[in-house]
Amino acid sequence: MSIGGMGTGDPDSDAGADPTSAQVEVAAETFRMLASGTRLRLVWTLVNQELDVSSLAEAIGAAVPTVSQHLAKMRLAGLISSRRDGRRIFYTVDDPHVVSMVREIFDHIAPDGSLAPDPPANGS
C-alpha cells in the first residue's frame, strides 16, 4: 500500500486528471494510517532524524511495545523504512512525498492548533 507508486513519475503527465479508484483507496488508507496522533508524531520525528524504537519511544513519550506496533504497521504501509545495524533497527522517512505531506500539514496548522494564515499572494 505504498503511496510512492502513485502516478507515472512524471509530475506533469497526470496534472488535472481525476485520480483512479486505486489511487483514492490508497490515499484514504494513507490518511487512515496518519489519523493516529501517535503515528503522526512518529512520522514527524522520523522526517527529521533516523532513530531506533527505544529512542523513538523516549522522544515521543510512549511505551516501546506501542511504538513498535505502530512502526510495523507504517513500514508495511510504505510510510517509513528501516535498516538494520547489528542488533538494532533504525527507522526513517525517506519518501519525499511522505516528507512533503507531513511538513505541509504542520505548516497549515499553527502551534496553538488553529489553522495557520495563508501566505500572502504574489504581488500583494
Residue 100: inside a domain, yes or no? yes
CATH assignment of the domain containing 113? 1.10.10.10
Host domain of residue 75: 37-119
Q: What does the alpha-carbon distance between residue 19 and residue 96 come to, in Å, rounded to a whole number?
A: 20
CA distance 104 to 98: 10
Q: Is residue 16 part of a domain?
A: no
Per residue in 86-104, pLDDT tens?
A: 999 999 999 999 999 999 9
Residue 12 lies in a domain: no
The model's pLDDT over 26-73, given as tens digits with 9 standing for 90+, comes to 999 999 999 999 999 999 999 999 999 999 999 999 999 999 999 999
Q: Is residue 24 situated within a structural domain?
A: no
- Which helix or strand (DSSP H or E) is residue 48 part of? helix 37-48
* Domain count within the chain: 1
Classify residue 32: in a domain, yes or no: no
- 9 in a domain, yes or no? no
Burial class (CB in 10 A: 0-12, 13-18, 19+), 42: buried
3-state secondary structure of 14: coil
